[in-house]
Amino acid sequence: MPNSVTALSPDELVAAWAAEPGLTYIDVRTVSEFCAGRPKGQVVNIPWEFHAPAGGTPHPNPSFVEVISALFAHDAPLVTGCGKGPRALAAAEALCEAGFRNVRTLAGGFAAWQAQRLLCTTDNRPGVSYVSLLTRVRRPDGETGPAGH
């Protein structure tokens, strides 16, 4: 890949949040992983992949770049993170290929964050959860669909 994605340590991410207004951590883990715990800060969940219920086989999230492109400018400061790092790097590379210019990853993922004993939360409210973000992108007028569903 022509662009090199910089990896931040957990402490560097904490410092970047303080220094860069608008910096958003995109947790690319599955919805269930995200709900079990995540870094506390400006974080949203946009899964890189989903796991099939039978057997847990991963398959890509076809809306990953679409959702991020709808929510963030191409120069927005973004950091991707996952459990240990590989999904976050793949996601960051896909974002760079889609034209995002300020993308970094969390080195070691959420496991490294927890090892540093940094603040965590299980907050999954609207505006943070994947379902709410996808709904905002797909139905920007705020409608919930037929018969209020």
> What is the reported pLDDT for 141?
65
Nearest-angstrom CA–CA distance, 50 and 113: 23
6-140: CATH superfamily: Rhodanese-like domain (3.40.250.10)
| H-helix segments, 5-80 | 10-19, 31-36, 64-71
What's the mean pLDDT when you consider all of the chain?
89
> What is the reported pLDDT for 53?
76
In single-letter form, the type of residue at position 141 comes to: D
CA-nearest of 87, 91, 83, 90 to 108 is: 83
Cβ-count burial 25-34 (b if 16+ within 10 Å, e if not): bbbbbbbebb
pLDDT band at 3 (very low <50, low <70, confident <90, very high): low
The encoded tokens of residue 67 equal 């959702």
Which pTM was predicted?
Answer: 0.89
User: For a pLDDT cut of 70, what percent of the chain falls above it?
Assistant: 91
List active site positions: 82
pLDDT digits (tens, 9 = 90+) for 70-122: 999 999 999 999 999 899 999 999 999 999 999 999 999 999 999 999 999 99
Q: Decide if pLDDT at 145 tops 70.
A: no
pLDDT digits (tens, 9 = 90+) for 6-46: 999 999 999 999 999 899 999 999 999 999 999 999 999 99
Q: Decide if pLDDT at 142 tops 70.
A: no
